[in-house]
Amino acid sequence: MQLNIYKDYNELSAQAANEIIELIKIKPDAVLCLAAGDTPRLAYTLMAKKAGDEKIDFTRCSFIGLDEWVGIPPQNAGSCRYFLQTTIFTPMRIATAQINLFDAMSADLDKECVKMNTRILEKGVIDLMLVGVGMNGHIGFNEPGVLVSNNAHVIDLDEVTQSVGQKYFSEPVAIKKGITLGLNQLLQSKKAILMANGSKKATVIRRALEGEINTEMPASIIRKHTNGIVMIDEEAASLLKSEPVIHKK
Ligand code: F6R
């Protein structure tokens, strides 16, 4: 695992955007799995701008959904789909055929999981997974205690996720379950980037990078990835005891 620490959120976001752009330059038909949430928001904005400015061709790549709140409709601004649509798909004119997201309104969520697992197998591999980390250490909606061997699954969201998740919604919502890719799919991706910023994530980053590797802290599993990169800003890195492997200004 590689650890890159950036001066601030702007620098971190610019580098994360570059990672995606550079991948698409060398592999235009790459399979991307990108998290929703506040952490990657600026990276996606910068990516969309750079792709437009430099005329990078995103018409052949495809997008795999990482996760979704069960029971939240796509038109709700707090849904992961709405976020990805408004920050990436609409600005970058990504065609519907390129997008594979969970339908968290489906009456048969197990079937949704099978569909997503099959879609990934058809694609062969996820070239890049870019994930955030929750205040409880979750990746996607892989909550503490989850099995590393999981592929897509439906999960009861823990209390931290249910309460922190309210920040995405304009009014209080019941978000008791999530549908998510599993940690097995994270580990099988060609490259995985875990992003975090801000002092609010410093404790979770310290536990993920310096604590035991187990699913009580799902983000620690990134250390098992053969091509995992942790990209964080100085605030998120502020509680790390050991010397960072790489320090970028
Ligand atoms: C969202 C997702 C979540 C978030 C995590 C951090 O698609 O997968 O795991 O990445 O909860 O959220 P933010 O970035 O809002 O702090």
DSSP per residue, 149-187: T--SEEEEPPHHHHHHGGGGSSS-----EEEE--HHHHH
Residue 149 pLDDT > 90 = yes
Neighbouring-strand partners of residue 106? none
Question: Per DSSP, what are the bridge partners of residue 179?
Answer: 68, 154
**Does 136 participate in catalysis according to the annotation?**
yes
pLDDT of residue 249: 40
Rounded to whole angstroms, the Cα distance separating 122 from 18 reads 27
Report d(CA 175, CA 158) in Å as an integer.
Answer: 10
* 242 band by pLDDT with thresholds 50, 70 and 90: confident
**pLDDT over 70 at 176, yes or no:** yes
Residues in the chain: 249
Q: What is the distance in A from the centroid of ligand 1 to the CA of 37?
A: 5
Tell me the mean pLDDT in the region 24-38. 98
Dist CA 17 CA 20 (whole Å): 5
Percent of the chain with pLDDT over 70: 97
* Rounded Cα gap, residues 211 and 206, in angstroms: 7
pTM of the full structure: 0.97
Model confidence at 244, pLDDT cuts 50, 70, 90, reads low
From the alpha carbon of 40, which atom of ligand 1 is closest?
14
Our answer to whether residue 143 is catalytic in this structure is yes
Ligand 1 contact, 140 CB (< 6 A): yes
User: 233 CA distance to ligand 1 centroid (A)?
Assistant: 16
10 Å CB burial of residue 211 (0-12, 13-18, 19+) is middle
Catalytic position from the list 143, 233, 234, 235: 143
Residue 15 has pLDDT above 90, yes or no: yes
> Cα dist. 34→2, 67, 75, 237 in Å?
19, 9, 19, 22
Average pLDDT, the chain: 96
Closest CA relative to residue 74, chosen from 44, 104, 52, 45? 104
Q: How far apart are alpha carbons 242 and 100 in whole angstroms?
A: 39
Which residue's alpha carbon is nearest to atom 2 within ligand 1? 140
Q: Report how far ligand 1's centroid is from the alpha carbon of 207 (Å).
A: 17
Residue range 163-192: mean pLDDT, rounded? 98
Is the pLDDT at 65 greater than 70? The verdict is yes
CA 90 and chain centroid, separation: 19
Mean pLDDT (whole number) for 231-245:
87
Whole-number Å distance between alpha carbons of 151 and 187? 10
pLDDT at 75 over 90: yes
